[in-house]
């Protein structure tokens, strides 16, 4: 189950990079035509390998916590030996970095510190305390500079300019999601002597912080429409995401966590649909 969940997250990130790259180019059609398509595919292959390394390393580093939180869903230590995982992680990181050199210099300049950041985060995440959620949110939000690097800055347009707004919304929601995940994982983190935000300030205060961050992202998500950068299809998706987040505040912790994640997907896919429907 852990493998399926991680692969789902990886392909969600790649889909996000595709959407952002399309915005940078101005349309899906431009992205799918030379020379952008060839560069994008090479970059996606490199990023896929780095992400696989990152999630595998996360499973490896979190084994003692996962034995408490989700023993039935463990991948490393159950379906894959820790020893083999220990060899695969550097191999996947190395393969991803090597592939990056065949993309372009801008992409390489982003993927190198990203790989280092992912590795350092996985190693120290349970000891970062108040900075854990902010650290992983910054790492995940790097999909925006990655997409701009893949498209060499993209083509000048209002759509491309919206990419300077979306990272703020994305950062707020990812941080809210990570806080909720840490609340859910508190039993294992406590058993493993972790120092996550919920363990520092209490689960109730941490949940309030997550709700505040998620709701603060709603007006930011509406800015691209209000500024004329996106159309009505995007507005519909952003509004649906806002309603889902509002409903999520009345749900238990697992429900709120899922509501935040689904709201991110709603905004992402509605932005892509809005771009495509505008063209046709």
> What percent of the chain is modeled with pLDDT above 70?
98
Find the helix packing angle between 203-226 and 253-279, rounded to 10°.
10
Q: Among the listed ranges 8-12, 41-45, 63-67, 205-209, which one has the minimum average pLDDT value?
A: 63-67
pLDDT (mean) for 252-258: 97
- Residue 149 belongs to what H/E stretch? helix 143-150
Residue 280, pLDDT score: 41
pLDDT at 206 over 90: yes
Q: Among the listed ranges 69-78, 97-106, 118-127, 150-159, which one has the minimum average pLDDT value?
A: 69-78
Under the banding of pLDDT at 50, 70 and 90, the label for residue 77 is confident
User: pLDDT per residue over 1-45, tens digit each?
Assistant: 567 878 888 998 999 999 999 999 988 899 999 889 999 999 999
User: pLDDT per residue over 150-174, tens digit each?
Assistant: 999 988 888 899 999 999 999 999 9
Under the banding of pLDDT at 50, 70 and 90, the label for residue 55 is very high
Contact at 8 Å (CB) between 271 and 144? Answer: no
Q: How many CB atoms lie within 10 A of CB 232?
A: 11
By residue count, the chain amounts to: 280
Give the C-alpha separation, 280 to 276, whole Å.
7
Give the C-alpha separation, 111 to 209, whole Å.
31
Omega of the bond leading into 91 within 30 degrees of 0 (cis): no
Q: Which sequence spans correspond to the domains of the chain?
A: 2-279
Residue 231, pLDDT score: 93
Residue 237, pLDDT score: 97
Beta bridge partners of 80: 76
Q: Please report, for residues 43, 239, 263, the alpha-carbon distance to residue 99 in angstroms, rounded to integers and kept in the order given.
A: 8, 39, 32
Give the C-alpha separation, 182 to 201, whole Å.
12
Contact at 8 Å (CB) between 141 and 167? Answer: yes
- Residue 246 belongs to what H/E stretch? helix 232-248
213 or 197: which leads in pLDDT = 213
> What is the phi/psi pair of residue 229, to 5°?
-90, -20
What's the mean per-residue pLDDT of the chain? 91
160 or 64: which leads in pLDDT = 160
Give the C-alpha separation, 199 to 124, whole Å.
16
CATH level 3 topology of 2-279: Farnesyl Diphosphate Synthase (1.10.600)
């Amino acid at each position: 189950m852990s493998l399926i969940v991680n692969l789902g997250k990886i392909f969600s990130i790649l889909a996000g990079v595709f959407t952002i790259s399309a915005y940078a180019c101005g349309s899906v059609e431009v992205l799918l035509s030379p020379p952008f398509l060839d560069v994008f595919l090479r970059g996606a292959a490199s990023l896929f390998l780095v992400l696989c390394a990152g999630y595998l390393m996360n499973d490896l580093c979190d084994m003692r916590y996962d034995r408490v939180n989700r023993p039935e869903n463990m991948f490393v230590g159950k379906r894959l030996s820790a020893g083999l995982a220990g060899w695969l992680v550097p191999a996947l990181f190395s393969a991803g970095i090597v592939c990056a050199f065949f993309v372009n210099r801008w992409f390489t300049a982003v993927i190198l510190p990203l790989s280092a950041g992912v590795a350092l985060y996985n190693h120290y995440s349970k000891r970062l305390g108040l900075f854990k959620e902010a650290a992983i949110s910054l790492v995940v939000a790097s999909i925006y500079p990655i997409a701009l690097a893949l498209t060499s800055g993209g083509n000048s347009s209002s759509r491309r300019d919206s990419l300077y707004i979306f990272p703020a919304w994305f950062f707020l929601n990812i941080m809210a999601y990570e806080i909720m995940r840490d609340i859910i994982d508190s039993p294992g983190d406590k058993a493993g002597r972790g120092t996550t935000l919920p363990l520092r300030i209490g689960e109730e205060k941490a949940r309030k912080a997550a709700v505040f961050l998620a709701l603060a992202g709603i007006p930011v998500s509406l800015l691209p429409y209000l500024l004329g950068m996106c159309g009505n299809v995007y507005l519909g998706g952003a509004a649906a995401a806002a309603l889902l987040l509002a409903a999520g505040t009345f749900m238990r912790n697992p429900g709120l966590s899922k509501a935040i994640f689904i709201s991110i997907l709603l905004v992402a896919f509605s932005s892509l649909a809005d771009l495509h429907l505008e063209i046709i």
